[in-house]
A and B are shown apart, each in its own frame.
Chain A
């Protein structure tokens, strides 16, 4: 051989021996089965005939595999690794073969018990498949999907393992990123859900087919059905009312077509039948491609707000109406107060210019009528005001309805006559009907109804008054042939300042107070009043119902009081004291006409002086006088022996219990309320036997 040339013979001999030994060992190894392949030329002859084919195949397959293949023996020493494993773990096989597996990588498990699970699987099934981390010798981490199988060799005392691992780090990182993204998404979805589900608004989202894709849970409170009843359905399909479904179809189509937000209002009748109102904002949601992908609706229940709005409007309207009525009233009042002044002025003119006594009488009559009209007007106004303030008290007694009607007719006669109306007192309006009431106030009631009838009946009409007993009730009706009341105004006729026909009413003179006063006075008596009319031009009929008393003795009040006026005086002396001179003078004049001897005083001091000089039988004292009040005058008169027994009558603007008690304590015998009811005064004076009382 070429390489042995130049060597010394001893060395050459040594080499030959060595070669011989090697040859002997080779033969021995082959014979003892330690050799598994012989190489002849370029061919490798595998000696293990049983495994030859499969070995070769396995070897090729393993070498070609993309997965890292590592085999270890029973002592965990690496006995094989393919190229993929060399690449994956960054080490050449020659460095690693024969070394413990730890030279190649260490295993890190994802979960605590993965290790035990794998061991159990290997023991029981001879295989384990799963994921773990291989930590390379250089510290690098590889996420692998690993299949480990038992490596059983017939000739080996124990089993090794074959570890096939695929690097899935890329996938793992992607999955981790995805998980992170998903958890982020989940968080934002949860945030959205938290927001939506705690919001007072109802959120709904619709796809291009107008189907619900999201509905917030609040919908159940409104419709009684859960969101799941809506998802995937249109309004029609979800069974919403047709009108509502149609409205929404239009709204949603518009949002999809135009891509612009809009506001809408809609109403929904809940399961309980309650109508609720909603306001919704529709927001088109644009996809990445630019089209409207979906429409989000945010709706809120505005029912309470709407109701409050309506109530506020109603209140404002009613205030405006009240204000309007007040304006009309003031205008009418001014007109009404001025109205009688013209004829009075004219009458005075006539009296000044004419010496004719007939003309004077006519003029005086006109003045009296107009004055009465004025007084009536002002009385009504004051009464309404006082009733409203609870200042009117009824002086109740048993009275006959016939007397009430007679007094009322007497009061209203001038107005009825002025209208040239025919007044009919229906037969059977007998005197046996008795009520417990205030004569003055009930007279006022009937008189007002008569005035009203006269006013709203064209000249020459007929007015019918009737009274009857109906069960426990006394019923008075006043019917006319006048302009009537339209049906829609009937409920309002007793309202303050209500007038049926402004133009007509005003021309006839009327404040709309009369009927309001009637209603209040009747109600104070525990009765009712109603109006009926068959319509415009067909007359009106008013009916007053009062609780009736059993008919017994005839009331003293039944007799018409005016008949007694003339004889009442009997020459008794009466002092009239009032700081309103007109008031004092006119009352004194009236009492003189009735046969009394009168004297007047205009303040408290003067009243005392006149009383001392004249020593009257009776004194009528206004309470609100200057210098000395009526109360004080009364106290002093009572304190003076000369006037201790004098009849003292208080004249006060106030009629409450308190007021009456105060005048009584001051020493008054009687308390009369302004405006003075002359009849009541006359009755007091007439009923008194001044001689018996002792003439001062």
Chain B
């Protein structure tokens, strides 16, 4: 869950007109908030960025060193790594509107 190698494995079928959104979700193990964050992010992406995003879930409880490397100070933290500039969101990602706004994504209809 921590490899950066996972970045290559999605977005192959992304529409050419839209930039690929590369996301990393840092969680602190199988906790309820992490679970909620994961589910919320996946839902949000599937609904608004279908086929043009990649999501890496990184468990800091297994690889704490990655936290310092990516300047993560709390979990769960969602990082938009592409397109730049980097954006960060902290929490269980239950406020979808705010995240979509932060990601510069217009919420999908319905």
Contacts and interface: CB of A to CB of B under 8 A. Distances in A.
Interface of A: 14-15, 18, 22, 25-26, 29-30, 32, 34-44, 46, 48, 51, 55-56, 58-60, 62-63, 71, 73, 75, 77, 79-80, 92-95, 97-99, 153-156, 160
B90 A80 contact: no
Binding site of A, secondary structure by majority: helix, strand, loop or mixed? mixed
A35 B94 CA distance: 12
Given A44-B60, A73-B39, A79-B35, A39 B9 contact: no
Binding site of B, secondary structure by majority: helix, strand, loop or mixed? mixed
A154 B72 CA distance: 27
A511 B10 CA distance: 128
Contacts of A44: 28, 60-61, 64, 67, 75
Nearest to B3: A92
15 contacts: A29-B91, A30-B74, A34-B92, A35-B74, A36-B33, A37-B60, A39-B60, A42-B68, A44-B60, A51-B31, A55-B30, A58-B30, A77-B39, A79-B35, A94-B55
A657 B9 CA distance: 130
B35 A71 contact: yes
A93 B31 contact: no
Contact of B68 (A36, A39, A97): A39
A109 to B, nearest CB: 27
A95 B30 contact: no
A26 B76 CA distance: 10
B65 A42 contact: yes
B41 A98 contact: yes
Nearest to A22: B88
A155 B90 CA distance: 19
Interface of B: 1, 3, 6, 9-10, 28-36, 38-43, 54-57, 59-62, 64-65, 67-68, 72-76, 85, 87-92, 94
B74 A29 contact: yes
Nearest to A71: B30
Contact of A94 (B32, B35, B40, B56): B56
Contacts of A153: 32, 35
A14 B38 CA distance: 29
A37 B35 CA distance: 13
A62 B30 contact: yes
Which of B31, B40, B67, B85 has most A Cβ within 10 Å? B31
B61 A36 contact: no
Nearest 4 pairs of A and B residues by beta carbon: A98-B42, A34-B91, A37-B28, A79-B35
A43 B60 CA distance: 9
Contacts, number: 139
A15 B38 CA distance: 27
Nearest to B65: A42
A278 B56 CA distance: 85
Nearest to B41: A98
A191 to B, nearest CB: 57
A634 to B, nearest CB: 141
Contact of A26 (B9, B30, B73): B73
A96 to B, nearest CB: 9
A513 to B, nearest CB: 125
A80 B36 CA distance: 11
A26 B85 contact: no
Nearest to B6: A94
A487 to B, nearest CB: 115
A98 B6 contact: no
Which of B43, B68, B74, B76 has most A Cβ within 10 Å? B74
Nearest to B40: A98
B23 to A, nearest CB: 10
B30 A35 contact: no
A51 B67 CA distance: 21
Given A39-B60, A98-B43, A98-B55, A93 B1 contact: yes
Given A26-B73, A36-B76, A79-B39, A94 B91 contact: no
A37 B9 contact: no
Contacts of B88: 22
A1 to B, nearest CB: 11
B31 A36 contact: yes
B38 to A, nearest CB: 5
Contacts of B36: 156
Contacts of A79: 30, 34-35, 38-39
Nearest to B61: A59
Contacts of B90: 22, 25-26, 29-30, 34-35
A43 B74 CA distance: 11
Contact of B9 (A36, A43, A60, A95): A95
Contact of A73 (B3, B35, B57): B35
Contacts of B62: 59, 63
A49 B49 CA distance: 36
A16 to B, nearest CB: 11
Contact of B29 (A59, A95, A155): A59
Contacts of A155: 32
B63 to A, nearest CB: 10
Which of A40, A71, A80, A160 has most B Cβ within 10 Å? A80
A94 B55 CA distance: 6
Contacts of A29: 74, 90-91
Nearest to A19: B88
Contacts of B6: 92, 94-95
Nearest to A160: B35
Contacts of A95: 6, 9-10
Nearest to B71: A39
Which of A75, A92, A156 has most B Cβ within 10 Å? A92
A93 B57 contact: yes
A274 to B, nearest CB: 84
A412 to B, nearest CB: 137
Given A35-B91, A39-B75, A97-B42, A56 B29 contact: yes
A71 B31 CA distance: 11
A86 to B, nearest CB: 8
Contacts of A37: 28-29, 31, 60-61, 74-75
A156 B85 contact: no
Which of B35, B40, B73 has most A Cβ within 10 Å? B35
A35 B68 contact: no
Given A18-B85, A63-B62, A71-B35, A38 B42 contact: no
Contacts of A63: 62
Contacts of A156: 32, 36
Contact of B67 (A39, A71, A99): A39
Contacts of B76: 34-36
